[in-house]
Structure 1
Amino acid sequence: MMVFKNSFIVLLLAVAGLFCSCGDGNNYTLTGSLPTRYDGCRVLLSPATYYFSPDKSTPVDSGIIKNGEFRFRGTVQEPAVFVLTIEDVRDNRIPGMSSVPVIIERGNIKVLYDTTGITLSGTPANDRYMATIGKGKQEIQRRSQILFRERDSVQQLAGNVSNEINNYYNEQSRIIFREIMVPAAEEFISEYAGTSTGDYFFFTCCSKDIYSDAFVERIYPTINPELREQYETFIRTRQEKQNYFSSSQKATEVGRPFREIVARTIEGKEVRLSEQVKKGGLVLLDFWGSWCVPCIQEMPLLKELHEKYGKKGLVIIGISLDKEREKWQSSLEKHKPIGIQISELKGWESASRNDYGVQAIPFTLLIDGSGKIIARNPHGPKLVEAVEEYFNRK
């Protein structure tokens, strides 16, 4: 009996040890080290999301940096990618600090923030990430700094900022990215194909059309079918928007009829463009935004035009591409732009912006009394000339 009893106790201890081992085996610790000047900043740990996914990410944990360190602890069933975000950073001299992907897996994960970049270590997946993608990012950062210093020196010698110079160095940056990041990403993703880690870095390291054809042919079928469907839907929708945007630019060229715009004033009153296009008058559409400095700088000129031609039939309609009502209202109160001021409060998703193919602001359009577009995006002296010519011709 004693032997049986002792054996039974040993068995219970073994089973208990097994359960404890399993529990401990799923634990992770994430420790971040960074300069003490970031003490007091809040750190968020959130599940990684995709730019093409409708899902929103909510932080699962947060903490405050103290003595140059923060720490998260928890359990994880299987490796998953999370994102570290540091809030309230006033002195950001660490490349990539705003959003750091970390593979959460069992073990002690370490994140070192340094001016040369960010280093992950301590667990197999994070070590492999650093040996491939992480190392690639640091090399791109190093070579880009050399490239930009060279560009600045060339611009100083040239005496101005040339588009040709900028275009050349932007192309060199793209070449560096392709040479370094693409093979590094393909190596890491191949090792983790068929996992959520591989899926995430496939879509976030490079765009699908930059990878080699052989790599995409081999890896893309291993990606979660739901993710593939979301991505393909996103690409189709984006292409449809681009096609419509291009067609809108052609449909609103000089000589074409205006397109209806329906939006509201800050007080909530609905305004229709068709109601403002009157025979013999001239409508000046001004697309702008509260954050747009050139837009604000053009407002005095619009006021001068209105003072001179308002009684002759010039109607100015300001169309704000703001999303936040408070910012739009604040800008209206501060700058007091002339004319009828309306907005859909949808930002760059505004129907009016897409219907007229507005690529950048400020953007202006002149519509005559018959509803025909007579000038597309004139500014400064050219805008004055177009308005004067119209009323002189009358």
Structure 2
Amino acid sequence: MKKIAVALIFISSLPLFTLGQIKNLKNFTISGEVNVDTGTVQLIPNELNKALYPTGFKPIIAKIIKGKFKFNGQIDEPVWMYFKIGDKYQSAGTAISTGGQRISIDTASNYGDPINDNLVMKDAKSYDKAFMIVENQRKQYKLHYDSLFNIYGRKFPEELELKSMKELKATYIVHDATLLSFVKENPNSYYALYKLYALLNFGYNTTLGNTFEHFPTLLKTSRLGQATLQRILSLKQIAIGETLPNFNVFNLKGEKIADTPYNSNKLTLVDMWYSHCMPCIAQFEDLKAIRNAFQDKGFEIIGISTDKTKYVEDWKLAIDKYKLTWPQYLDLNGIETSKYGIHIFPTSLLVNQQGKIVATGLSTVELKDFLKNNL
């Protein structure tokens, strides 16, 4: 590892915004050091979360000279960024705030956290401390899971798999409750707000909704706060107890899905997937077995693919290859599902005969257990 100098030298920066936006922005400076002598470092936003950045926000590049680099720019509030050096290193995300911050990067730790001394990332330390019990619980779960995996491989006995899933979801409940408690004690934590925003990728529950309500107006009305609120409002539409929305999707014949596709069955699983999603494909055999076991009792599955235009033929081939005999529909480019905040796949919604969502995110073993107890 090359020696890292202490002095920080300005190297290069590029404008981030159009001139019309400058009046709303404040200066930021990044003084950085890295364990390589030369090259370039890029400061890059997350393209999947464009709502978190002002219009016109673009990656910027700085040269590395003798292990040092510097960025100057303007932002109106903290933004979540990552650093990229060449083709071999990319950091984990880190908050860039107005004012100055010193950042240190170790390229030996690919996807590792850069050392960042701004106030947002300093808050991460108190956040991590509050979650120590949660992390220990997760570690214990992982140790238990790994021990079972060493014995049974990928096919656990159903009783053990169901028990393992219940243990995992118990850690989720503790995690969400801990986040709520942390925000009650630290309502001005921008870091906690970002964590909530990221967590909503995996679905909504009332604890997460209550957590958002404990942030002050200043954070709620920030760009990040508004993006978080939008996720909550989208996801609440497909929460347990809500009525399944009318998806504008079409089958292989180009026919639109019925307005009430669930009313002829006691319970219907809406399985959202796409043709190149390996976890989606991995559950097909289990879904086929479950459908065969419970179809006569009033259970059905409806598949909705979110394949992009260039993969439509792959979607058709997948239906044939995996012998998916239940109704299949296409949400081209995921336009419909994205309206409801669905970005993680597979995602499933279990719906009763009246169209009410009775369960979400069930694994196949959980689904089987639910059907045994409710059909």
Name the TM-score, length of structure 2 as normaliser.
0.48
Structure showing greater Rg: 1
More helix as a share of residues: 1
Name the TM-score, length of structure 1 as normaliser.
0.46
